[in-house]
Homo-oligomer: A and B are copies of this chain.
Amino acid sequence: MRRIAESTVRRLSLYLSFLEEIEARGVPTTSSEDLARLGGTTSAQVRKDLSFFGSFGKRGLGYSVPELSARLRRILGLGRQWRVCIIGAGKIGAALARYAGFTERGFIVSAVYDSDPSKIGSRWGNVKVRDEASLERDIEAGDYQIAVLAVPADSAQNLADRVVRAGIKGILNFAPVQLTVPNDVALRAVNMAMELEALTFAITNKVD
Which chain A residues in 115-171 approach chain B with CB under 8 Å? 145-146, 153, 169-171
B95 touches A194 (CB 8 A): no
A82: B residues at CB distance < 8 A? 196, 200
A180: B residues at CB distance < 8 A? 40
A77 and B204 in contact, given A101-B176, A199-B186 (Cβ under 8 angstroms): yes
A side interface size, CB within 8 A: 71
Interface residues, chain A, CB within 8 Å of chain B? 1, 3-4, 6, 9-10, 12-14, 16-17, 21, 38-41, 75-78, 82, 84, 91-92, 94-96, 98-102, 104-105, 107, 145-146, 153, 169-172, 176-180, 183-184, 186-188, 190-208
